Amino acid sequence: MLRLFSWNVNGLRAILKKDFCEDIAKLDPDVLCLQEIKLQEGQTDFQMEGYYDYWNYAEKKGYSGVAVFTRREPLAVTRGIGIEEHDREGRVLCLEFPEYYLVNCYTPNSQNELRRLPYRVQWEEAFRNYLNELAKKKGVILCGDLNVAHNEIDLKNPASNRRSAGFSDEERAEFTKLLESGFIDTFRYFYPEQEEAYSWWSYRTRARSRNAGWRIDYFVVSQDLEEVIKDAKIHSDIMGSDHCPVSLDIEI
């Protein structure tokens, strides 16, 4: 059994000053995917003993970025999706293993008043095409902060957030298109009716203490991996970021 974890750490250097290392030791992941690391090459000497590590940094300092730590060495590593306008922000890291591709993603936020929504929709189409091309070759495991609460069950206050970034009709429709193209939202696969299961809470409103959250962190797999996924969890008891880790157990 392999256990994969994904966590938006909202700044790796910041979370390293908290209980991050102790938390990761307890989780004991086979693969750990991080998003929003907010650093450049050489700005941290953080390593995990016994793991290979791979990084994709944004061109802009202190912004975005993803990393993967894996006990098993991949066959190949790719940074970005091969489209320059989408690859400047360090949002995608793909590791190829013999049985599957692992794609770690930090999806662009549509921002206040949805001012970046047009770009977000362009990104979604390009990224979906990228995933579907991978899926033609072998199974795909996508994880990360996908910056969308898919359905009303996936956030505390759907009515008041209808035109908020992460819950616009357009963003939700793009996630539906991804699933309809041959992918599975693993948490909802195992827990289709579970309410108040969130992975992000706003710092501004002290939302975490009230569990007024959103489920925007995912493990999504191509349908040909359906038989090997065994469980998906949200680890809301783990602090340190405005997001909590999510995990997927697979039997490969």
Give tens-digit pLDDT for 154-166. Answer: 999 999 999 999 9
Phi, psi of 106 (to 5 degrees): -120, 95
pLDDT at residue 59, rounded to an integer: 96
204 pLDDT tier (thresholds 50, 70, 90): confident
178 pLDDT tier (thresholds 50, 70, 90): very high
Give the DSSP letter of residue 94: E
41 pLDDT tier (thresholds 50, 70, 90): very high
What's the CA gap between 120 and 110, in Å, rounded? 6
- For residue 141, which of 234, 209, 68, 51 has the smallest C-alpha distance? 68
Q: Cβ contacts of residue 250 below 8 Å, gap of 6+?
A: 1, 2, 4, 141, 225, 228, 229, 230
> What's the chain's average pLDDT?
97
Strands 100-106 and 139-145: parallel
Query: Is residue 64 a contact partner of residue 89, using CB atoms and an 8 Å limit?
Result: yes
Give me 95's structure tokens: 């590791």
The amino acid sitting at 1 is M
Whether the predicted pLDDT of 214 surpasses 90: yes
Adjacent-strand bridge partners of 31 = 4, 70
Could you give the 3-state DSSP secondary structure of residue 187?
helix
Strands 31-35 and 2-8: parallel
What's the CA gap between 151 and 42, in Å, rounded? 40
Stretch 175-191: mean pLDDT: 98
Could you give the 3-state DSSP secondary structure of residue 142?
strand
pLDDT at residue 100, rounded to an integer: 98
27 pLDDT tier (thresholds 50, 70, 90): very high
pLDDT tens string 72-122: 999 999 999 999 999 999 999 999 999 999 999 999 999 999 999 999 999
pLDDT at residue 197, rounded to an integer: 98
* Percent of the chain surpassing pLDDT 90: 98
252 pLDDT tier (thresholds 50, 70, 90): confident
Whether the predicted pLDDT of 141 surpasses 90: yes
Report the predicted TM-score, pTM, of the whole model to 2 decimal places: 0.98
pLDDT at residue 110, rounded to an integer: 97
What's the CA gap between 15 and 108, in Å, rounded? 21
245 pLDDT tier (thresholds 50, 70, 90): very high
pLDDT at residue 91, rounded to an integer: 98
Stretch 44-64: mean pLDDT: 97
205 pLDDT tier (thresholds 50, 70, 90): confident
Active site residues: 106, 145
Locus of tokens 């289709």: 192
